[in-house]
Homo-oligomer: A and B are copies of this chain.
Amino acid sequence: MKKKVLIIEDNDDIRENVIEILELAGYTVASTNNGKAGVELAFQDTPDIILCDIMMPELDGYGVLYLLSKRPETIAVPFIFLTAKAEHFDRRKGMEMGADDYLTKPFDDMELLAAIESRLKKKEGQQAFYSKSLDKLNMLVAKKDGLAALKKIIEERKSRTIKKNQVIYYEGDKGNGLYLLISGKVKTIKLAEDGRELMTGIYAADDYLGINAMLSNEAYADTATALEDSLLCLIPKEQLEELLNLYPEVAREFIKLLANDIREKEDQLLQMAYNSVRKKMAEALLRLQRQSNADNFKITREDLAAMAAMATETVSRTLSDFKAEGLIEKTGSTITILDLARLTKMKN
């Protein structure tokens, strides 16, 4: 089956040229010269890949990407930016927003075709990759007889790669689905009035993201950011609703997840309230150890400070103390836990 490519580019020469090349290469091509029309075309008939200029009047490339990422049907479509600007900052901004690649104009035919093919191939690779995470989801649904629903969900797997430091959703965004983290690591944070961050959660492979926003039908209460390159699977809201209504087991499972979450939050509250800095630090390290299942991990002082609700300087000092006491080892931003037992028993 022919792959559909959507091109959004306001320069007529370039657009026509690209269309010609792609049609020769056997793709079906849709095109437009402005961002708004591009978004609408994408919604009407989901393409397999999108090429998009950054600098455009009215709605620019970043805006297009943002709007597309709001809808489940377009969120997973590979997105390649076309631009004359090869500057560092723009490139990063685009990648952080979730673009998959970047072509600097002028580009030759081979470059273009190679980029498209590599993206399409990668996307297919991901479909196969889905790992245990989704199998677990299958289990969950299949427990009783949700076979049809199960098939449907898996067939329509939407996936999305997220790069380090990229924001998955912002506090206040209305969610469009539930995320299942397939690989990587993600943190959720809340911002205090003065700009300080508090980490409300840290997630690893097989964890669900945004459960409570999704299930309470409200906007996200925190901001989710990738701590490292991650792969996410989106379960669209409507399908989730359907599952919940059809299969009590699914609802029970989510209820359990939520209830445990509350438990954890309450524990954290107690710690935050009355524990000394040493104790809070120890607990933060233990949480990291538990969820990475390893005795060493990389984390910035800033993130640690946000986890334990203290100043970065205090983190530094406390870690130095811990090192002097033989509890941990540290080099740069890598921390290795040496004496788990004593950390666990840390007195207040």
Give A residues with C-beta under 8 Å from B.
Answer: 190, 192-194, 196, 198, 200, 211-213, 215-218, 221-222, 244-246, 248, 251-252, 254-256, 258-263, 265-270, 272-275, 309, 348
**Roughly how many angstroms separate A273 CA and B200 CA in the complex, as a whole number?**
11
Of all chain B residues, the one with the shortest Cβ separation from A214 is B259
Contact of A266 among B200, B218, B252 (CB under 8 A): B200
23 contacts between A and B (CB under 8 A): A190-B266, A190-B269, A190-B270, A192-B273, A194-B348, A198-B269, A200-B266, A200-B269, A211-B259, A212-B259, A213-B259, A215-B255, A216-B255, A217-B256, A221-B267, A244-B248, A246-B248, A251-B251, A258-B258, A261-B262, A265-B265, A265-B266, A269-B272
Cβ-defined contact, A269 with B258, below 8 A: no
Nearest Cβ on chain B to A239's Cβ, whole angstroms: 15
Cβ-defined contact, B216 with A259, below 8 A: yes
A258 neighbours in B (Cβ, 8 Å): 212, 215, 255, 258-259, 262
A269 neighbours in B (Cβ, 8 Å): 190, 198, 200, 265, 268-269, 272
Nearest Cβ on chain B to A78's Cβ, whole angstroms: 33
**Roughly how many angstroms separate A217 CA and B257 CA in the complex, as a whole number?**
11
Of all chain B residues, the one with the shortest Cβ separation from A254 is B255
What is the copy number of this chain in the assembly? Answer: 2
Nearest Cβ on chain B to A72's Cβ, whole angstroms: 20
**Roughly how many angstroms separate A274 CA and B190 CA in the complex, as a whole number?**
11
**Roughly how many angstroms separate A252 CA and B243 CA in the complex, as a whole number?**
12
Nearest Cβ on chain B to A254's Cβ, whole angstroms: 6
Cβ-defined contact, B262 with A255, below 8 A: no
A256 neighbours in B (Cβ, 8 Å): 215-217
Of all chain B residues, the one with the shortest Cβ separation from A213 is B259
Of all chain B residues, the one with the shortest Cβ separation from A211 is B259
A309 neighbours in B (Cβ, 8 Å): 272-274
**Roughly how many angstroms separate A172 CA and B261 CA in the complex, as a whole number?**
17
**Roughly how many angstroms separate A198 CA and B194 CA in the complex, as a whole number?**
25
Given the interface pairs A194-B348, A266-B222, A268-B269, the reply to whether A255 lies near B260 with Cβ below 8 Å is no
Given the interface pairs A245-B248, A255-B251, the reply to whether A216 lies near B273 with Cβ below 8 Å is no
A193 neighbours in B (Cβ, 8 Å): 348
Cβ-defined contact, B348 with A270, below 8 A: no
Nearest Cβ on chain B to A214's Cβ, whole angstroms: 8
